Structure 1
Amino acid sequence: MPLDLPITYLLSAHIPDEKRLQLEDEIPTLTYDITEAKLVLGKVATKKRAEFELRSRKLWTEEVKGTEGEEKDSVEDKRSAGRGQEKGPARKKRRTGPIKIPDHVEVVVLDSSTESEAEEDENQKKSVRGRSGSSTQSEDVQSPAQSPRKEIISSPPREKSPHTPRTPTADQEGPVFNGNGTIKVVKLSWFEESVAAGHMLPLDGYIVYEGRRVEAPKHRNVMKPPRSPLPGEIIARAQSDSPHASSPPFPRRSNPLQSPSSQASVTRPTPLIRQTTSEHDNPPELPPIPDYLKTSYSCQRPTPLYTLNDPFIEFLVRIRQSRTLTNDEVGVRAYSTSIASLAAYPHTVSTAEEILHLPGCSERIAALWQEFNDTGHIGAVDDIDNDPEMQTLNLFYEIWGVGPNGARDFYYRKGWRDLDDVVEFGWNNLSRVQQIGVKYYEEFQQKIPRDEVEHIGAVILDAANHVAPGCQMTIVGGYRRGKPESGDVDVVVSNPDETVTLYLIQRIVEEIERREWITHTLLLSTANSERNQTPVSWKGDMGHAGGFGAGFDTLDKALVVWQDPAWPTREEDLAADPRAKNPNVHRRVDIIVSPWRTVGCAVAGWTSGTTFQRDLRRYVKAVLGLKFDSSGVRKRDDGAWVDLEGVGGKAKDMLTAEKRVFEGLGLEWREPGERCTR
């Protein structure tokens, strides 16, 4: 079972990327916003270093004394009393017996559950305030212990509301985390040893630093007056000396390859979550959260194609896209997790508090929802949409075969600003796929309706059965999840006779080319056939520095450009001009051939939404100690292939094989239309 941790931030310093990704998967309450955290894990050995790590993330704290310091004071008291050498005012001794309360003294009954909720509300407000960059602190409230004529007694905690906030309260945190509002920097080894033990170990000897949040130093300009974003500001994050300083349309960095995420950040502050007095006095009744939404793995819950919160989700998708373009992998993962949770939520969100109860949804997401609910839009998205640099990056990203890294290379290193620049200055240096992507850019942007997808699939299946009778095919991707339109067409082809699928991809492509449906074959991989369709030799986690052997997911596949060869005036046009152009739109098509023994994994992998697939791999790794991929399942200790689809004999069809994969992994079957994690 995952550890019952408070909101946790992971320091990435001195942690290899692959190890960091593994830890992010293992921490169930991970946040990417340190202002939300109560626990900070990292490879930190000294208090000075811990304070520096917090300050570098604009989190200002002052050290607090823990129980060890209190015990030392108590020992010193006893020594001083024994020697009779007290100097100055005598220290107040700790009361050990029952408390006698005089009649004239007012008694304040402090309910533990109420106290923790109040503390948590205040922490949440400070967290949002900290993210917005505000240097204003909330007014200090005098604690009961500071009142001159009040004694405090505690009553047993009341029964909790079923809508307990996901941030652990004082009584939830137990002896390890006391919920006193501080932030603890703890050695990473504590978490690793706790995971190995299966429960949280005591923090003794692992706490490097414990501090309480304080206001930033007065001389620091934490937040500048709001102003309209300058061109290119979203990515370049170019700091200007004056709010009215001019900026060229496409500012160049001193290091053209420098990632935008590494630049100094000047961002639009996240709005505060607005709360009213009535909300505190009469909190609204929150809809019940389904049991399936109490897991962090989206592969364990149904996520439909259309949801009640789609308008807000669309804004988050656009923010995530900007994180993709700026090489912010952590941001992409965080937004993907939040989007998947919101997409699975069966109610229309009506308050920001609802969002805080969903797995993976932080106060930042709640604040964005509040802004969306109040104004109908999100300022950060408006900035992204209006930024010319972001628009150009997205233009390059949409070129087939370029991707986010290529888009940044085109813009920052090569200095290109549009498709004309790509053709004029870089055509000969593009890959063949990229050249086709530029040539048919506008055509590839056109979506493919479902009936055309089905027609393309029928042509492929007919060609496959022509060269190898008995083939089966499944159209996967967004089409199988129910999308009305697709960006490309993905199909998985197989045959129960595994001798037939050997080099089948080559014969299928040749037959379709003969029928004139394929205009360009950009990739034809027969790696699986070249190893005689045997499971990939993989040494497991212990046998490879990176954890994975080369070529793990290497099914035979073809990447082709598709065009319907028929059009109404074909005969007349060709008679008048033998070189007459086909007016039909070019399409992108992927043809995957899988051996029958692993066809269920192939269909599941190529069907599910991106976050569903990611969480499926996380689940299989964390819970089962296995590795899942579209080419099969392996053991992580020795890399041995695990046969999930042959249980009970050979599967009769692809759907049966896919269902056996879910069953073998201990997962409830989810229809393709329930895997739409965006």
Structure 2
Amino acid sequence: MALEFPIIFLLPAHLDSDELHDLEDQIPTLTYDIHEADIILGKIGRKERALFELRKHKLATEEVPFGDGDDASPRQKKRARTSATEAISDTDSEAGSTKATSDTALVKVVKLSWFTDSLKADKVLPVDDYLVYQGRKSSSQMNPPPKPSTRADDILVRAMADANSAGPRSHGGRSSHATGHYRSSKPALLRKTTSEEDRDAHLPPIPEFLHTTYSCQRPTPVHPPNEAFIEQLTKIRTARTLTGDKVGVRAYSSAIATLAAYPYTLSSVAEVGRLPGCGAKIALLFQEFKETGELKEAKEDESDPRLAVLKLFYDIWGVAETTAREFYNRGWRDLDDIVEYGWETLTRVQQIGVKYYDEFLIKIPRAEVEAISAIVLKHANKIHKGFQMVIVGGYRRGKLESGDVDLVLSHPDEAATKNFIERIVVSLERAKYITHTLTLSTKNSERDQMPVSWKGNEKKAGTGFDTLDKALVVWQDPKWTTGEAKNPNPHRRVDIIISPWKTAGCAVLGWTSGTTFQRDLRRYCKKERSLKFDSSGVRSRIDGSWIDLETDANGKPAPDMLTAERRVFAGLGLEYRPPEERCTG
């Protein structure tokens, strides 16, 4: 029997993306609107941090003491203990007492351990020992938004309600809109013609594969029917990434993955709102896109000066979104500021990213990807005959242009792959193809290419199994035919990955698939198979042992790397999806 938790808002602070997604899956009453939550759950332990998070999410409160202090009177302590548990244990009907009314005004910020301990105990525990802060909402925030309808026919009503409020309230299930952090604005006038009503009555059936939450179980083409709408949503997601809105990024990613797998051209609001992971917010955005051909929020994001600077920094190779914000907060506004005021503080990789900023942004056509790959394979077989290679990344998924070149090399003789990454890099450097080596990892060879058992949630650097030998390099074709004195060929980013043959299928699968596909593949393995997957192997979450999915029943290894990849799909109980159907973004 499912535990009856109160409505919970999950703070993303101090949670990595995997932790955040796992917790979202476990919370049955999750809402993305902090104003409607009974409990605000977070990986925090201090009142000051709780107040910071409430201010950050624009929730004004007045503190209500809950009796932790030594100077609190017995009456205060009793009152505090009572109010702190009422939201959890009160079973009175909503209209049955004034107590229920007062509870809606209380905000309880609770440690994450309350939720995890409740799951372990198989009962909802009182919050007394987990309460970080308790406050009363200001009068302007006392009116909760209306409960959304769950019928597809009422999507228009839900969308307008969303536009007028912070978002729909979730009772007993996840809130269905993309995010509760979107800009509030005057609701669009949603018109529904007679022809649209007729069309809504004959909507195409939702494909069976869309009823799963795992995008690794869906065919997702590189050019879906609703690509133009998805591009607009992707722009909004990028802005959420730059501003650190993890919840928004995850919600938009899920909606985008669903829409990318939907095989029909969208025609109405109701058609969007019924899709898993979409709901009223995405339906409202679709209505706007249908009428104007764009999304106002995406357009505003593109013209936002702060976001423009963050995007500039984020596009530097070696700079993540958090570092981009750090640069901005230092007062830097362009690459010249970085060079003038912060060059010495940059890592070597970031310095190279700045130096070749413009060149790294130039897309690489498929023909050039193939030419670079052929040179790498030729050098590999000069060193040791018998190497096989698969071009992975966006190229293998069918993109016409790539941001970089990703290659997986392997050899049936395991001795051939040990320490091979150093030899191939030296060979290519001598031939003047590699101008800079950004990262060179030999962790796999250092442990004699032996599979490492997984040790629970341990995250110490270098102890995990996801440590394939790899070189991330800067590449430039040393040959040119023009009369220029300086090499005019653009510098390219190339990743060379070396995998032992016994796990080459995992390497090819991991490095080929889209970001959301990879994320959901890890979730699927964890939730459905009690396994841990990454590009360097599959391990049991029960005893930590390595699981060999690539050797057949007769003990024979796969004859090639693509066969090995198919065996991984089969071993995980998944239908094989060709690379062109893994374009989840």
Shift of 1:119: 7.6
| Residue 392 of structure 2, aligned match among 476, 481, 484 | 476
Aligned to 2:10: 12
Shift of 1:284: 3.2
Shift of 1:427: 1.3
Number of matched pairs: 489
2:8 touches 2:29 (CA, 8 Å); kept in 1? no
Aligned to 1:610: 515
Specify the code of the residue in structure 1 equivalent to 2:283: A
2:155 touches 2:270 (CA, 8 Å); kept in 1? no
3-state DSSP class of the match of 1:435?
Answer: helix
Shift of 1:129: 4.0
| Residue 347 of structure 2, aligned match among 424, 431, 437 | 431
Once residues 299 and 393 of structure 2 are traced to their aligned partners in structure 1, the CA distance between those partners, rounded to angstroms, is 30
| Residue 162 of structure 2, aligned match among 103, 117, 131 | 131
| Residue 463 of structure 1, aligned match among 353, 361, 379 | 379
3-state DSSP class of the match of 2:10?
Answer: coil
Once residues 638 and 487 of structure 1 are traced to their aligned partners in structure 2, the CA distance between those partners, rounded to angstroms, is 39
Q: Does 1:376 align with 2:293?
A: yes
Q: Does 1:335 align with 2:366?
A: no
1:352 touches 1:370 (CA, 8 Å); kept in 2? yes
Aligned to 2:446: 530
**In the TM superposition, what whole-angstrom CA distance separates every residue of 1:547-598 from its partner, at most 9, and x where no partner exists?**
998333111000111011111146xx6xxxxxx3211111000000011111
Q: Does 1:632 align with 2:537?
A: yes
Shift of 1:371: 0.5
Specify the code of the residue in structure 1 equivalent to 2:24: E
Specify the code of the residue in structure 2 equivalent to 1:561: V
Once residues 94 and 239 of structure 2 are traced to their aligned partners in structure 1, the CA distance between those partners, rounded to angstroms, is 49
Shift of 1:281: 7.1
2:149 touches 2:158 (CA, 8 Å); kept in 1? no
1:270 to 1:568, Cα distance in 2 relative to 1, 3 A: farther
Q: Does 1:284 align with 2:204?
A: no
2:473 touches 2:495 (CA, 8 Å); kept in 1? yes
Once residues 408 and 368 of structure 2 are traced to their aligned partners in structure 1, the CA distance between those partners, rounded to angstroms, is 17
| Residue 216 of structure 2, aligned match among 299, 304, 308 | 299
1:185 to 1:495, Cα distance in 2 relative to 1, 3 A: closer
Q: Does 1:496 align with 2:401?
A: no
3-state DSSP class of the match of 1:132?
Answer: helix
Aligned to 2:241: 324
Aligned to 1:178: none
Shift of 1:356: 1.6
1:124 to 1:356, Cα distance in 2 relative to 1, 3 A: closer
1:538 touches 1:548 (CA, 8 Å); kept in 2? no
3-state DSSP class of the match of 1:628?
Answer: strand
TM-score when scaled to structure 1?
Answer: 0.65
Percentage of pairs with the same residue: 54
Once residues 269 and 438 of structure 1 are traced to their aligned partners in structure 2, the CA distance between those partners, rounded to angstroms, is 38
Bigger CA drift: 440-449 or 267-276?
267-276
Shift of 1:132: 2.4
1:26 to 1:335, Cα distance in 2 relative to 1, 3 A: same
1:42 touches 1:185 (CA, 8 Å); kept in 2? no
Once residues 482 and 96 of structure 2 are traced to their aligned partners in structure 1, the CA distance between those partners, rounded to angstroms, is 95
| Residue 396 of structure 1, aligned match among 294, 306, 313 | 313
The structure richer in helix per residue is 2
Aligned to 2:476: 563
Aligned to 1:215: none
1:518 touches 1:561 (CA, 8 Å); kept in 2? yes
Once residues 461 and 240 of structure 2 are traced to their aligned partners in structure 1, the CA distance between those partners, rounded to angstroms, is 27
2:411 touches 2:500 (CA, 8 Å); kept in 1? yes
3-state DSSP class of the match of 1:490?
Answer: strand
Once residues 663 and 40 of structure 1 are traced to their aligned partners in structure 2, the CA distance between those partners, rounded to angstroms, is 44
Shift of 1:520: 0.9
Aligned to 2:133: none
1:447 touches 1:486 (CA, 8 Å); kept in 2? yes
Shift of 1:602: 0.5
1:353 touches 1:366 (CA, 8 Å); kept in 2? yes
1:653 to 1:26, Cα distance in 2 relative to 1, 3 A: farther
Structure 1, unpaired ranges of 5+: 74-115, 136-180, 192-260, 574-579
1:492 touches 1:602 (CA, 8 Å); kept in 2? yes
Shift of 1:30: 5.8
Bigger CA drift: 497-506 or 645-654?
645-654
Rg larger for:
1
Shift of 1:122: 9.6
Shift of 1:437: 1.0
1:30 to 1:340, Cα distance in 2 relative to 1, 3 A: farther
2:155 touches 2:283 (CA, 8 Å); kept in 1? no
Aligned to 1:163: none
Shift of 1:34: 6.4
2:10 touches 2:30 (CA, 8 Å); kept in 1? no
1:354-373, aligned counterparts within 5 Å? 354-373=271-290
Once residues 153 and 25 of structure 2 are traced to their aligned partners in structure 1, the CA distance between those partners, rounded to angstroms, is 29
Once residues 608 and 369 of structure 1 are traced to their aligned partners in structure 2, the CA distance between those partners, rounded to angstroms, is 27
2:377 touches 2:389 (CA, 8 Å); kept in 1? yes
Specify the code of the residue in structure 1 equivalent to 2:581: E
Aligned to 2:435: 519
3-state DSSP class of the match of 1:588?
Answer: strand
Structure 2, unpaired ranges of 5+: 43-49, 62-86, 98-146
Specify the code of the residue in structure 1 equivalent to 2:471: A
3-state DSSP class of the match of 1:523?
Answer: strand
**In the TM superposition, what whole-angstrom CA distance separates every residue of 1:405-453 from its partner, at most 9, and x where no partner exists?**
11111101x2111111111111122111111111111111110000000
Once residues 356 and 548 of structure 1 are traced to their aligned partners in structure 2, the CA distance between those partners, rounded to angstroms, is 43
Shift of 1:272: 4.6
